[in-house]
Amino acid sequence: MITVLGLILTFLSVPCYAIILVHAFHRSVGTGFMVLCLPLYCLYYGFSQFEHRQKGLVLAGWLGCLVLGVTFRVVGASLAAQ
């Protein structure tokens, strides 16, 4: 059950990441590819250059759901292995 919740949270982070990715590609193709391929640059871009009226919500949805989703999936996998 915990693994399913983690999977749902991970899938909920995808639309928020897509908003950031589209914004980066609108800025330039090079920036878009850097956001797409380099996770640390995506984090930098999200906090420093991403401009959206709901920036806080988009970043919280992306990072919060992603971190919680991965955490729940790891915990669920370790509980299932026991």
Task: For 3-54, write each residue's pLDDT tens digit.
Answer: 999 999 999 999 999 999 999 999 999 999 999 999 899 999 999 999 999 9
Amino acid at 8: I
Quick one: tokens of 61? 């949805």
Please count the residues of the chain: 82
What pLDDT score does 61 carry? 94
Task: For 19-30, write each residue's pLDDT tens digit.
Answer: 999 999 999 999
Which of the residue ranges 35-39, 58-62, 77-81 would you say has the lowest mean pLDDT?
Answer: 77-81
What pLDDT score does 80 carry? 85
Residue carrying structure tokens 């669920």: 76
